Structure 1
Amino acid sequence: MSELARLIRKSPFFIVTLLVLAKAELFRFTVFSGTSPRSLIIDLLSALLISCIIELIPHRRVRQVLYGVYWLIATLTLLGATVYFRYFGSVATYTTLFELNQLPAVKSSVKSLITPLEALYFADLVLFAIGWGIHLWKKRRDQWMLAYEQVPAPFKLPYSVATVLVSIALIFSVFTVRASADTTNELKRAELVGFTNYQASVLWNAFSAKREKPDVALKDIPATKEKLEEQVVPAFASSSSTSTVENPAYFGSEKGKNLIMVQLEATQNFVIGLSVAGQEITPVMNGLVSDSFYFPQVFQQIGQGNTSDAEFMSNTSIYPTAAVAMSKGYSDKDLPSLPKLLGAQGYTTMTLHPNDVTFWDRDKLYPALGFSTYYDKPFFTNDHFNSFGASDEELYRVGLEKIKEASAAGKPFYAQFVSLSSHHPFEIPEDKQELTLPEDIAGTQLGNYLQAVHYTDKALGKLIQGLKDQGLWDNTILVLYGDHFGLQAKDNDPADVSKKLGIDYHSQITRFSIPLIIHAPGQEGKRVERTGGQVDILPTVANLLGLSWSEDEFVPFGRDLLNAERNVVGMRYYLPTGSFYNDEILFIPGTGFEDGTAYSLKTHEKIEDFSKYKGDYEYILEWMKLSDEYVKQLPKHK
């Protein structure tokens, strides 16, 4: 038997502990770009904690099985977390395990994220195979009994030593986690405490939150919300929502009109007005901009639920908690929503999405939001546009039929469309790729993205033409907005994108900026520079439709962008908690405010002195916390 095989047989405790430690450091190099002696000690103690617990089990066979399970779980978890970080830019938590059933639906996206680096997580299998091969060769060469007489007795860590090590590792982990409790930046916290301790801290925080009483009772949230605005950012006091603004501009200007909201998959704002090699990427949306309200400074705010979170926000004006997809964690709540507001006004409400409605639990989310009808995969002819199935053209074809039926009933309607044709990895049929791109762009992810968005824009034009053909265009508000970024950070260096497209592409400002276009038939076009987010869509649309509500029945956490004098919108999950966009800057915290980073929204340059924005930082932390308190306390729907 080889020395390696003998050592494994003799002491899986040492081998597995060292292998798990090595993989934890590989994760650190991938996510945090390096390690340190302190980090090495933290990760070693985390690995020892579990190994020593296994050593406390008296049965050797059980220990061996558990070591194998421990090695496998650690390998797959850290591998998955590495791929996850590459796409989301955040550290995966145990709650993401509940989303594993979603992987088959996005397998093309996941496959494109895996790189040769991930093979290192399984490099030890090669060593195991070599060791086992040597063992088999020697087994044939030597006498069977002689070979096994030379094998020492299996090693087992003394019970007393294992107990002491478990105690030391546990105390150290608790101390490490508690010392980082005030760090709101999830990436910094994960870096400080290590991957395993970070999972423990997230689990403990979730457990504590369930046991603790809310800081603010549900009935007191409207007053607390108003007080927070007055104390921290007085300019906000009169611009929270349509219901509190005195004589808001445009209020009710589109009252009674139909409403169509189109959520555009992975559409970033930089494509609006962009031309490549003399070709407009989005000619349809460019045409709309001239006679619509166009908001060029709106940013994504989605959490773990991604596209479904965007649907949630645009219909509720509530922040995602980022701890879980809102469709999974809160679809049992009686959610105040735009469909319910319009339903009370006699509107027919529907939502259309060509994927399976069970994906992201939309079959639960849509009833919770108050949509009277939803149309999913079975209602569309699968033209095999991409891995999701039906194309945007098919989505709008069916949608126009359903809209025609609703309009014939003589009632106004609200129809939500969730597009999919520009989904990552942006591989669309060749006969739909109409752009002639330069050689340095064609075939790259950037080129594929431009082709997909161009198709999405063209399909949108068919929806608009269909509305005109049915005589509905002049009686319908059309709202277009992106759900989240498209271009992957790992595949698209900002400097490279800037050079190829002739724009100033910033990794966090441009990447997270999404379009918001509201075509209101009774209004002239206007460019609105106010910063906003997806939580602001509902209040802005409600203002145009003349919708009012009491604070007892509806508490929005967004603002009417047509009337707000100033705005601050928070973002977490894709950026650390405490990050915000206001009308001047993007701010990203470090361990706190003082060691954070700020960039100008206009110039994209780094701002050295951002001390005057500390009030915005404190405000957005409290604002998002209050939103969390609100949605968690909403009653269960019947």
Structure 2
Amino acid sequence: MKSKIKAAFNPRTWWPKAKDGMHNMSPLVAFFLLNLFLVWIKTYINYLVNFNLGVTGPIQNFLLVLNPIPTAIMLLSIGLYFRGKLSYWLIWIFNLIQSLWLFANILYYREFTDFLSFGIMGSGSATGNNLGKSIAAIIHPTDYLVFLDLVIILVFLLLRKIKIDRKGIQKRYAILTILLGLILVFVDFGIANVDRDGLLDRSFDNNYIVKYLGLNEYALFNANQTYQQSNTRKKAGPKDLQKIQQFVKENHSPANVSYYGTEKGKNVFVIHLESFQQFLIDYKVDGQEVTPNLNAFYHDQHTKSFDNFYNQVGQGKTSDAEMMQENSLFGLNSGSAMVKYGASNTFESMPGILGQMGYTSAAFHGDVATFWNRNNTYKSFGYNYFFSKEFYPNANKPSYNVGYGLKDKIFLKDTAQYLQQLPQPFYAKLITVTNHYPYDLDKENISFPATKTGDNTVDGYVQTAHYLDQAFGELMDYLKKAGLYDNSMFVLYGDHFGISENHQPAIAQLLGKDKVTDYDLGEFQKVPFMIHSSDLDGGIDHTYGGEIDMMPTLLDLLGVPTNNMTIFGHDLLSAQNPQIVVFRKGGWVTPKYMKYNNHYYDTQTGEELYLSKDKELAKEAKANDAYADKVLSDSDKVITGDLLRFDKRTDFHKVNKKNYDYSKKATLKALKRSQETNPSSVLAKNDGHSTTDEYTTDAPEYSSSSK
């Protein structure tokens, strides 16, 4: 027995004997090892070339070399269980599967600086058509090199240039090979856990999982994560919410009495500036302002503008920004919360809260209603109306659309007919889309010079941003003429970055630098946040905050108490705001320190700092890491466990989704009826005379005489 065990682990017995009695490698094993090498080398090269994993030190570099191997061994070893041609084809197929996964992540990461998740893939019906347009523009010819080896091997197999081992190998060798892969998985994880304690329990950054464990292992981790999320709701109970509410209560920032309730009863316009970054404010190209209208609005004496305001989105991008803006809940680490939970969960959202205070709520978007599952999620949020693409008369004309829907000038002009019918006060969210990757615009609509970084993805960004700015200016002119400007509060925010971190040479040129650091990339996550009202004491506010803080800030201005709400943001106008901005993908920033891509910086100077050399930083970093983990984890629990269904608040009644019908016929009928039952709209006050003739646009799609 002992001799058999000894022989099993003797490397010389791993290969079948050749006819001459020597221990030569069988053709099947050689084919296996060739494919293993090819999977490893192309994965490792792409780690270095296409992903920004933030690898530092010898341990992380060693793990980066090691981690493609274990699961590749286990997957390719499946072919060793069979004989003849089938074993070769199975090995080739498992090479193909891993290559497809690598290829898909290269494309996704290039645009979104994150890895594909099962949540995102599962939301294909909600985002697929438009995502396809973006992905098509992302592909580089060199990306197809991940399939080059497969094509060559396929040709050799078909031409029978590869010797087929018809006997195969004994199954014990296949078992031992898979066992070797499994052992290497544990070795990898053990070393990783030494360098990054609690890697799987505490990490909210997918880059960490790939860096330490590998791209295939990330897929397994994410599959388990998705499964756990789907089962969390069944296990959740009222006590889970009570624990979280206690934490929220302890961290609540009281309202600033100087601002609380000053905007009560006013209309609220929330204008979603697609992919709009803070650096665009006051930015010039060839001496011309990119966004003159937004610049003037930003510096207006009645606009409160925050210049240290960061996007905090994850994989859900725009939908994450909406989740934070409407609910003060973070998006999920995997996938889109609106897609996965928007139709089923209980929410205590801005539209629902204001609706129970007499507000009419409406969302406007020039794309299909199903994008990001808005047609279902908005019912859960409590929106009275949702005007999607089918409500716009020009929506089916190809020249009136670009990328993700109607061009902004056309969208905003055609929105006016519905704005004038909304009973006041109202809460209206307008989602622009033209300033979205890949920043394409037809020549007739381009009236601004492109930048000259040499990066085609980046150089058109200022042109679509300028177009958005012109559309915004036209909307403001109309609202002043229609009598809606002075009695409204305007909220403008950028939802997420427009230029991803994968364009660092171009970013450096835009910022006037030789090269960018992780600190620069952290600062590049800033987006605008402005609040304007005719009686608001404005100015540039240097408070540090993010999208999670929008809801409590707006509610305090509107005089709505937030002390009983399960929210994770803070009123930016509160003197007791802790000013900790937590990034969904890992890291944080405060007025003193920044943690970004696992590097630490002095927030004011950009100087890189080190935990081992700075005791004060080490102490604060530990506290901030704990806070970040807590708020992200608790926010996830609220969403995945649908915990707000257990809320016993008496000042808010749960939204009944059945009360809302967003079909065109029902919507227009309800809007028409409201002119009689609640004649407070601009149209009703104007004795039924439309104000849309007051809307002027220079959009070339309309005739030159059209208004």
Query: What TM-score, normalized to structure 2?
Result: 0.77
SS in 1 for 2:530: strand
- The equivalent position to 2:40 in structure 1, one of 21, 28, 50, is 21
- The equivalent position to 1:599 in structure 2, one of 598, 601, 614, is 601
- Which residue of structure 2 aligns with residue 124 of structure 1? 149
Give yes or no for the alignment of 1:342 onto 2:362.
no
- Which residue of structure 2 aligns with residue 81 of structure 1? 105
Contact 2:403–2:436, Cα closer than 8 Å, also in 1: no
Contact 1:307–1:483, Cα closer than 8 Å, also in 2: yes
CA–CA separation in structure 2 for the residues paired with 1:201 and 1:63: 28
**C-alpha deviations, 1:306-335, integer Å up to 9, x for none?**
111111110000111222201112211011
- Which residue of structure 2 aligns with residue 515 of structure 1? 528
Letter in 2 for 1:321: L
- Which residue of structure 2 aligns with residue 630 of structure 1? 638
**C-alpha deviations, 1:53-99, integer Å up to 9, x for none?**
3433x575665554343232211110111222222222333433324
- The equivalent position to 2:569 in structure 1, one of 558, 564, 574, is 558
- Which residue of structure 2 aligns with residue 586 of structure 1? 594
SS in 1 for 2:493: strand
CA–CA separation in structure 2 for the residues paired with 1:330 and 1:623: 19
Query: Are the structure 2 counterparts of residues 343 and 587 from structure 1 closer, same or farther at C-alpha, using a change threshold of 3 Å?
Result: same
Query: Are the structure 2 counterparts of residues 504 and 397 from structure 1 closer, same or farther at C-alpha, using a change threshold of 3 Å?
Result: farther
Contact 1:103–1:110, Cα closer than 8 Å, also in 2: no
CA–CA separation in structure 1 for the residues paired with 2:27 and 2:152: 11
SS in 1 for 2:147: helix
CA–CA separation in structure 2 for the residues paired with 1:563 and 1:123: 58
Between 43-52 and 164-173, the greater mean CA deviation after superposition: 164-173
- Which residue of structure 2 aligns with residue 258 of structure 1? 267
Query: Are the structure 2 counterparts of residues 50 and 132 from structure 1 closer, same or farther at C-alpha, using a change threshold of 3 Å?
Result: closer
1:502 deviation in Å?
14
Query: Are the structure 2 counterparts of residues 414 and 8 from structure 1 closer, same or farther at C-alpha, using a change threshold of 3 Å?
Result: farther
Q: How does 1:242-321 map to 2 (within 5 A)?
A: 244-245=254-255, 248-289=257-298, 290=300, 291-321=302-332
Give yes or no for the alignment of 1:158 onto 2:160.
no
CA–CA separation in structure 1 for the residues paired with 2:453 and 2:75: 49
Contact 1:282–1:454, Cα closer than 8 Å, also in 2: yes
Question: Would you say how many aligned residue pairs link Structure 1 and Structure 2?
Answer: 589
1:128 deviation in Å?
3.1
Give yes or no for the alignment of 1:611 onto 2:630.
no
CA–CA separation in structure 1 for the residues paired with 2:62 and 2:589: 36
- Which residue of structure 2 aligns with residue 434 of structure 1? 447
1:444 deviation in Å?
4.3
Contact 2:638–2:644, Cα closer than 8 Å, also in 1: no
CA–CA separation in structure 1 for the residues paired with 2:580 and 2:80: 53
CA–CA separation in structure 1 for the residues paired with 2:500 and 2:382: 34
**C-alpha deviations, 1:266-316, integer Å up to 9, x for none?**
100111122222211111111112230101110001111111111111000
Query: Are the structure 2 counterparts of residues 199 and 502 from structure 1 closer, same or farther at C-alpha, using a change threshold of 3 Å?
Result: closer
**C-alpha deviations, 1:138-167, integer Å up to 9, x for none?**
xxxxxxxxxxxx966425231111122223
- Which residue of structure 2 aligns with residue 474 of structure 1? 486
SS in 1 for 2:402: coil
1:437 deviation in Å?
5.3
Identity fraction in percent: 24
- Which residue of structure 1 aligns with residue 345 of structure 2? 333
- The equivalent position to 2:432 in structure 1, one of 419, 423, 429, is 419
Give yes or no for the alignment of 1:45 onto 2:70.
yes
- Which residue of structure 2 aligns with residue 396 of structure 1? 412
Query: Are the structure 2 counterparts of residues 97 and 525 from structure 1 closer, same or farther at C-alpha, using a change threshold of 3 Å?
Result: same
Letter in 1 for 2:600: A
1:44 deviation in Å?
2.2
Between 500-509 and 421-430, the greater mean CA deviation after superposition: 500-509
SS in 2 for 1:474: coil
- The equivalent position to 1:202 in structure 2, one of 209, 214, 222, is 222
1:510 deviation in Å?
3.3
CA–CA separation in structure 2 for the residues paired with 1:252 and 1:538: 14
CA–CA separation in structure 1 for the residues paired with 2:70 and 2:185: 8
Query: What TM-score, normalized to structure 1?
Result: 0.84
Letter in 2 for 1:97: M
CA–CA separation in structure 1 for the residues paired with 2:386 and 2:231: 36
Letter in 2 for 1:335: F
- The equivalent position to 1:526 in structure 2, one of 522, 539, 543, is 539
- Structure 2 stretches of 5 or more lacking a match? 1-25, 646-655, 658-707
1:561 deviation in Å?
0.6
Contact 2:229–2:640, Cα closer than 8 Å, also in 1: no
CA–CA separation in structure 2 for the residues paired with 1:125 and 1:152: 17
1:360 deviation in Å?
1.8
Letter in 1 for 2:247: T
Query: Are the structure 2 counterparts of residues 628 and 248 from structure 1 closer, same or farther at C-alpha, using a change threshold of 3 Å?
Result: farther
- Which residue of structure 2 aligns with residue 226 of structure 1? 249
Contact 1:177–1:198, Cα closer than 8 Å, also in 2: no
Letter in 2 for 1:88: F
SS in 1 for 2:498: coil
- Which residue of structure 2 aligns with residue 67 of structure 1? 91
Give yes or no for the alignment of 1:191 onto 2:205.
no
SS in 1 for 2:175: helix
1:363 deviation in Å?
1.6
User: Once superposed, what is the RMSD of the aligned Cα atoms?
Assistant: 3.1
Contact 2:303–2:539, Cα closer than 8 Å, also in 1: yes
1:415 deviation in Å?
0.7
Contact 1:442–1:448, Cα closer than 8 Å, also in 2: no
1:397 deviation in Å?
1.6
Letter in 1 for 2:245: P
Letter in 1 for 2:145: L
SS in 1 for 2:420: helix
CA–CA separation in structure 2 for the residues paired with 1:265 and 1:474: 25
CA–CA separation in structure 2 for the residues paired with 1:340 and 1:167: 55
1:399 deviation in Å?
2.0
CA–CA separation in structure 1 for the residues paired with 2:163 and 2:583: 58
1:40 deviation in Å?
4.1
Query: Are the structure 2 counterparts of residues 158 and 38 from structure 1 closer, same or farther at C-alpha, using a change threshold of 3 Å?
Result: farther
- Which residue of structure 1 aligns with residue 115 of structure 2? 91
1:517 deviation in Å?
0.8
Contact 1:11–1:156, Cα closer than 8 Å, also in 2: no
Between 218-227 and 495-504, the greater mean CA deviation after superposition: 495-504
Contact 1:540–1:559, Cα closer than 8 Å, also in 2: yes
Query: Are the structure 2 counterparts of residues 531 and 123 from structure 1 closer, same or farther at C-alpha, using a change threshold of 3 Å?
Result: same
CA–CA separation in structure 1 for the residues paired with 2:583 and 2:529: 17
- Which residue of structure 2 aligns with residue 141 of structure 1? none
CA–CA separation in structure 2 for the residues paired with 1:314 and 1:173: 41
Letter in 2 for 1:388: Y
Contact 2:508–2:516, Cα closer than 8 Å, also in 1: no
Letter in 2 for 1:117: T
Letter in 1 for 2:417: E
Contact 2:248–2:567, Cα closer than 8 Å, also in 1: no
Contact 1:292–1:523, Cα closer than 8 Å, also in 2: yes
Letter in 2 for 1:611: A
- Structure 1 stretches of 5 or more lacking a match? 1-6, 137-149, 230-236, 591-596
- Which residue of structure 2 aligns with residue 142 of structure 1? none
Between 333-342 and 72-81, the greater mean CA deviation after superposition: 72-81
SS in 2 for 1:481: strand
